[in-house]
Copies of this chain bind each other. A is one copy, B any other.
Amino acid sequence: REEYVEISPSDFFYRNKDIAGFDNPVRATYMIVRELVENALDACDRAGRAGNIYVAFRGKGSGVFQVEVLDDGIGVPEDEIPKAFGKVLYSSKYVLRQSRGTFGLGGTMALLYGQITTHEPFEVCSSIGDGYAARYRLRIDIQNNKPIVERKQRIKVPPGATFTLVKLTFEGNYERAKGKILEYLKQTAIITPYINIVFRDPKGAIYVFPRATTKLPEEPKESKYHPYGVDVEVLKRLISETKTRNLVSFLSKSFQSMGRQTAIKVLKKARLDPEKNPRKLTDRELVKLVRALRSYDKFRAPDASCLSPVGEEALEKGIVKELRPEFVKVVQRPPSAYEGHPFIVEVGVAYGGGVPATGDIVLYRFANRIPLLYDAASDVAYKVIRKIDWSTYYVDPARTPMAVFVHICSTKIPFKTVGKEFIADKPEIAREIELGIRECARALRSYILKKIAKQRIVER
């Protein structure tokens, strides 16, 4: 009597597009812009150049819009285009290296939303620099999670030119999404100062967010897991992929921050023979090894070459340019790790000057250089700020004109939602945010005390 059915992942995210962040036409309009811009930014970073992104809206009447996003990033190979855009859970970002994309969903969901609201196909045109561009007209077979190629062309382009153009039609609400879209582009420009963004709205108005620098950050490199916090599943996968033949080599080759000496100490803790072949571990031994890895507390801090923090100088510049505060202090915490993933927290506190007094501390949140504009109250950074007793820093959140900037970068940002709106309350991350905020708050306190002292001298 009960009917047991399997559905595809695209069918799941279609039925539950609220889960994917597309819960109403206003939010969907914002999501389409941010998902396509984030793909373009990732592509420009992979190209290792100070990229250029062009976003154009055209109104088609009765709530229907066409949006085009063009970037000069690395492009997509011709035979990968249909699956990259027409299939969910298909991605080039399932690697241990910082990127904005992480789920293998966002771009495809934006295109899917267009398809279900207007029944129009979407277009992707891209070149990886071989002198040809592939131009596809595509739809998504939602029930089976595969692309439908309606048309394909090959176009000659200058050799070496790389770019990607994505065009779709959807039903949305630009007027009510406009504020958030422009705020998103503005905050993106702060946190990625080496990128040019040009935005054309449905009325033809042009907004330019010019690059503030041509200096690129170090490109993040693919990394291995950090041993701190890994689970049994990760260990099993590493064992199934390893070419090593004994446990010491397995541990020191499979993980970062793990030399042979440390490996021997961990194996001793787990009471495992260092010469044993990892594939011969029994289930009980696997669990003992995981427990030993979790409880060993002397691992070197993670290698941060897989990460691309903003940097104290660049973050400070961005805050000053945006808010013109009387005082600013920026702190980059040392690399840390949670559940095998390296992460770095960067915090900035701005006070006075152009910082508005809004009745509460203004919180700007970023993750892997993505501005997070929704659901602040559910975010780990907000919870940390709420728990701090600000009076010890001579700050009254209700009256002090103060803004806090929090940027977290990691090989995996623990978003609580597919729409990447807010970050889960991980103890390791909460701790680093708190330490960063307190360090900035101490500097703010010194500044405030000096200011009070100066005013008293003046008053005498």
Contact of B116 with A233 in the complex, beta carbons under 8 Å: yes
Q: Which residues of B contact A242 (CB under 8 A)?
A: none
Other-chain residue from B1, B12, B103, B419 in contact with A103 (beta carbon distance below 8 A): B12
Asked whether any CB of chain B lies closer than 8 Å to the CB of A414, the reply is yes
Q: Which residues of B contact A19 (CB under 8 A)?
A: 415-418
- This protein's copies in its complex: 2
Asked whether any CB of chain B lies closer than 8 Å to the CB of A280, the reply is no
Contact of A416 with B18 in the complex, beta carbons under 8 Å: yes
The answer to whether residues A427 and B24 also contact, given A9-B89, A232-B116 and a CB cut-off of 8 A, is: yes
* Residue in chain B with minimal CB distance to A91: B5
Q: Which residues of B contact A427 (CB under 8 A)?
A: 24
- Flag the segment in A80-88, A261-269, A433-441, A450-458 that touches B: A80-88
Q: Is the interface of A mostly helix, strand, loop or mixed?
A: loop
Contact of B24 with A92 in the complex, beta carbons under 8 Å: no
Quote the shortest CB–CB distance from A365 to chain B (angstroms): 15
Quote the shortest CB–CB distance from A23 to chain B (angstroms): 4
The answer to whether residues A414 and B23 also contact, given A2-B74, A3-B95, A117-B232 and a CB cut-off of 8 A, is: yes
The answer to whether residues A87 and B6 also contact, given A23-B424, A23-B426, A24-B424 and a CB cut-off of 8 A, is: yes
Asked whether any CB of chain B lies closer than 8 Å to the CB of A142, the reply is yes
Other-chain residue from B2, B8, B104, B419 in contact with A92 (beta carbon distance below 8 A): B2
Asked whether any CB of chain B lies closer than 8 Å to the CB of A16, the reply is yes
Q: Which residues of B contact A412 (CB under 8 A)?
A: 15
Contact of A414 with B7 in the complex, beta carbons under 8 Å: no
Most chain B CB within 10 A, of A74, A83, A103, is at: A103
Ordered by A's residue number, 18 sampled pairs between the chains whose C-beta atoms are within 8 Å are A4-B84, A5-B94, A6-B89, A7-B89, A8-B89, A12-B89, A18-B416, A19-B415, A19-B417, A23-B424, A23-B426, A24-B425, A24-B427, A142-B233, A143-B237, A416-B417, A416-B419, A417-B417
Residues of A within 8 A of B (CB): 1-9, 12, 14-16, 18-19, 23-24, 46, 74, 77, 80, 83-84, 87, 89-92, 94-95, 103-104, 115-119, 142-143, 231-233, 237, 283, 286-287, 290, 375, 377-378, 412, 414-419, 424-427
